Amino acid sequence: MTRKGPIVIREGDEQIRELLERWLGEAGYTLIRDVPRAAQPPRLVIADVPSPRSAQAVIDALRAVYAAPILVLSGRFRRGLAGSSEAARRLGVRKVLPIPFTREDLLSAVEEALEGAA
């Protein structure tokens, strides 16, 4: 299986983080811990944001550390709004994925977020 990635996951909920790690690992992605000085820079950062109001602060903090596209996860975004490219554009991220999501939703969002990434 070809290894893809690496991807940083910044998720405070242990169960969701473990699920993300399992699904991405099974799909062939390499995962690295959320540490700024990782040996290999990530191609993507997946981050949970607690609410749309706090999203920009989280995104700005991640940009200060990582030079990689960001995929935002949140249970606070409405599915219709959050799935749109407009919501991602407003936040300045590659993709927004509302929680709950399926394995297929996640893998599709990761692929879209990685399109054109260095």
Q: What is the tens place of the pLDDT at every residue in 1-59?
A: 445 879 999 998 899 999 999 999 999 999 987 666 656 789 999 999 887 788 889 99
Domains and CATH numbers, the chain: 4-114 (3.40.50.2300)
Q: What is residue 80's predicted lDDT score, i.e. its pLDDT?
A: 54
CA–CA separation, 112 vs 32, rounded Å?
20
The pTM (predicted TM-score) of the whole model is 0.85
CA–CA separation, 107 vs 87, rounded Å?
19
